[in-house]
Structures are given as C-alpha cells and as structure tokens.
Amino acid sequence: MITSRTSHVPFAELPSEARALLSILAQAAAARYVAQPLKQSQLTPLLETIWNRNRLCLSNLADPFRMTALLETELSSFCFAGVAQ
C-alpha cells in the first residue's frame, strides 16, 4: 500500500483525468502479464478494486514509478487468477 498524508478518495469520485492517468499506468503495468491490452470494461472494475482496497488518494498519482509498481503487483495477482484474461 502507498501511504499518504491526504485522505482517501473513493474511485467513484475520482476526476476523469485521474481515472485516465490510472488507466494508462495500469495498461503499461498489465502489458507484462497479458498478450493484448485489457479492454476498458475489464480494466475499470479491477482499478476500482485496487484503488479502494489500498485507500489511495490523488497525491499517489504524483509518483508514477510507485504507482506502476503497485499496479504491477496487484494486476499480476488478478492475471494469474484468470480475472483479467
């Protein structure tokens, strides 16, 4: 989990720009585990689960390296479980 001094923002309340950035980072992280890019309809529920479970906030998006590492870890478990296939 990435900790921060700011409070958690639920995924449903994220601005569209933040969702777009998160989606881009997730596609890059998922490329390691899937043969083809995930459809947005597959990716959005995964991102919502990851975001809310880790209680992330907007400031977490300021560090793309840490966010990508978190997404790689989280998405690898989903991909190996067959959720994102």
Would you say residue 3 lies in a domain?
no
Q: What's residue 77's pLDDT? A: 79
Would you say residue 5 lies in a domain?
no
CA distance 18 to 48: 12
Would you say residue 2 lies in a domain?
no
Task: Read off the tokens for 10.
Answer: 């639920």
- The residue range of the domain holding 51 is 11-80
The model's pTM is: 0.81
pLDDT digits (tens, 9 = 90+) for 3-18: 545 799 999 999 999 9
- Of 77, 61, 49, which Cα lies nearest the Cα of 2? 61
8 A C-beta contact, residue 2 and residue 60: yes
How many independent structural domains does the chain possess? 1
pLDDT digits (tens, 9 = 90+) for 37-85: 888 998 999 999 999 999 999 999 999 999 999 999 998 877 655 555 4
Q: What's residue 4's pLDDT? A: 45
